[in-house]
Structure 1
């Protein structure tokens, strides 16, 4: 885990790393022309009152389904106070770009867009020490949920249960450059997947597309384990949407506990707002998974660097994709993340 987590953040802004740029195939997405004005319906239980009353019209200004607001399902925070929260031995302050991204800085960006709750992802700077994320969760009751990083070889089930009591609802696993056929084969990883099933905790793989088959196999072995794939499995990082890669991601939809984050738009495809070139991929995923298994996220602070903005990210889902109904938007912007990370 430490080696792959190091690979995740050491080289700066993650989605611009050269090591990721040659990962996806150079084929286009078939059937893209059929995306416009098609309705994507969530595969949710229509017996729920709030869902059955949802407006399926194509409104120009969709609002959150309740006063709790939207949920950003993937954000990193850190503090310049490295005395109180020391960095992992693999990092020094030069890796912290920007030097500070605190909850206060984050909320100033998120709240104007109607985002009230946020899923925090443990930052690699801190290694297996989740203290800063846990303190943020504790200081802002109900506002944040957490995805932790732990050592799979150090009593993972006990650690996962302890962190659950402190507001953690998911656990990030990072493939790095390990063997795609072996990175999930260890006993500790198997214990993590089993505990996640028992405790309704999400396993959150940060992977390139070539690791999707290994995740598929684990989903077959642990069908009750909630799984959330980060950032489309990085499909489109090289500027193209590989059909074979997208097929592999969509095959995970056969497992009812799998979900996908539609996130990190700044780093995929054309890498430019309004990001509508990602529409065909989102359209395909919405049909495969249903919008009730997709969740929007920014991946801040990286989404707000290099001329990209917070509102450009959320506006892709709110306004720019005609095939999404208000019901779809409600799931992607709030209810899917709420179901997985805030229950």
Structure 2
């Protein structure tokens, strides 16, 4: 029996009046909200100029905060006009292991944000720490990877605990890696095949201005690990470093052809993407509007569904 059959009877006139009001209300509501869920920005940093409530780490001072402020409200002014309504927050380095500002931002906007935290894997109980943070909206953990650090992780029992814990919880290991770390990352993915791994910012390939094919080949070798994903992001920092960033199209196509769009996700890397001549609109437009080889389904995955599947767990 449906709900309507349980309602008391009403006159036809009353029914039509009620229906008209409902339709009008629905029209107003739909005018305020998109017909489909908005896009997801899979990589944004936020911070506050209030360093009393949220102190910086011991290795940082306010000179590191450029711009001086990038709060959620400042972020929304950039992303919402472009149809982005969910965001993955990445813990900012100058807070080091103190994730509180990010956690408070998630608590304030729980339907909007998920978080990627930074934890000290050398401390006892890191697995429990990861589980506790999951209850606060943290669905990933950031690691900084160059060749030296990534190779050291291969023999680190503490790092093994972290990767295994992430596999158990479904949280992701998110790697800000240099291209020289990719061979070691491949070994880690082989050792921990059940762990979701996200490689940030093309593994920084093209940061020198030139996309080295050997580096791209190494990144594409990660395709054989189904739990590994790549962010096509931070366009301001790679290749010619100029909008509309079309020179990055061949690298995006190679990754789409190799991984499939289901394992790629777009991200802006705000606030850095909105400095100087760069803009938020130019970043999302590359994937949404500029690359003819991307199908509508590709864009749906890269702009929404991949990030949702990894971070909204």
State whether TM-score is above 0.5: yes
Question: 1 or 2 for the larger relative contact order (CA 8 Å, sep ≥6)?
Answer: 1
Q: What residue is the counterpart of 1:18 in the other structure?
A: none
Aligned mates of 1:248, 1:177 — CA distance in 2: 13
Q: What residue is the counterpart of 2:63 in the other structure?
A: 94
Q: What residue is the counterpart of 1:225 in the other structure?
A: 195
Q: What residue is the counterpart of 1:279 in the other structure?
A: 249
Q: What residue is the counterpart of 1:302 in the other structure?
A: 272
Which of the residues 125, 128, 134 maps onto 1:164?
134
Partner of 1:100: helix, strand, or coil? coil
Aligned mates of 1:179, 1:146 — CA distance in 2: 23
Work out whether residues 235 and 241 of structure 2, in 8 Å CA contact, stay in contact via their aligned partners in 1. yes
For residues 273-306 of structure 1, give each alpha carbon's deviation from its aligned partner in whole angstroms, at most 9, with x where no partner exists: 0001000000000011100000000000000112
Q: What residue is the counterpart of 2:186 in the other structure?
A: 216
Q: What residue is the counterpart of 1:37 in the other structure?
A: none
Structure 1 residue 177 displacement after superposition: 7.0
Q: How does 1:150-299 map to 2 (within 5 A)?
A: 150-154=119-123, 155-176=125-146, 178-299=148-269
Structure 1 residue 179 displacement after superposition: 4.7
For residues 307-334 of structure 1, give each alpha carbon's deviation from its aligned partner in whole angstroms, at most 9, with x where no partner exists: 1000000000011100000100000000
CA RMSD in angstroms, aligned pairs only? 1.4
Alpha-carbon spacing, 1:324–1:183, altered in 2? closer, same or farther (3 Å): same
**Where is the helix percentage greater, Structure 1 or Structure 2?**
2
Work out whether residues 180 and 210 of structure 1, in 8 Å CA contact, stay in contact via their aligned partners in 2. no
Structure 1 residue 67 displacement after superposition: 3.0
For residues 46-78 of structure 1, give each alpha carbon's deviation from its aligned partner in whole angstroms, at most 9, with x where no partner exists: xxxxxxxxxxxxxxxxxx996320000000000
Q: What residue is the counterpart of 2:95 in the other structure?
A: 126
Structure 1 residue 342 displacement after superposition: 1.1
**In the alignment, structure 1 residue 117 sits paired with structure 2 residue 55:** no
Work out whether residues 41 and 303 of structure 2, in 8 Å CA contact, stay in contact via their aligned partners in 1. yes
Q: How does 1:308-327 map to 2 (within 5 A)?
A: 308-327=278-297
Alpha-carbon spacing, 1:66–1:157, altered in 2? closer, same or farther (3 Å): farther
Aligned mates of 1:339, 1:65 — CA distance in 2: 21
Aligned mates of 1:109, 1:302 — CA distance in 2: 12
Partner of 1:203: helix, strand, or coil? strand
Q: How does 1:19-168 map to 2 (within 5 A)?
A: 67-154=36-123, 155-168=125-138
Work out whether residues 148 and 181 of structure 2, in 8 Å CA contact, stay in contact via their aligned partners in 1. no
Aligned mates of 1:184, 1:102 — CA distance in 2: 37
Work out whether residues 45 and 91 of structure 2, in 8 Å CA contact, stay in contact via their aligned partners in 1. yes
Alpha-carbon spacing, 1:144–1:180, altered in 2? closer, same or farther (3 Å): closer
Structure 1 residue 235 displacement after superposition: 0.2
Question: Structure 1: any 5+ residue segments left out of the alignment?
Answer: 1-63
Aligned mates of 2:156, 2:72 — CA distance in 1: 35
For residues 235-266 of structure 1, give each alpha carbon's deviation from its aligned partner in whole angstroms, at most 9, with x where no partner exists: 00011111110000000010000000000000
Q: What residue is the counterpart of 1:8 in the other structure?
A: none
Q: Looking at CA atoms only, which structure, 1 or 2, has the larger radius of gyration?
A: 2
Question: Structure 2: any 5+ residue segments left out of the alignment?
Answer: 1-32
Q: What residue is the counterpart of 1:337 in the other structure?
A: 307
> TM-score scaled by structure 1?
0.80
Partner of 1:181: helix, strand, or coil? helix
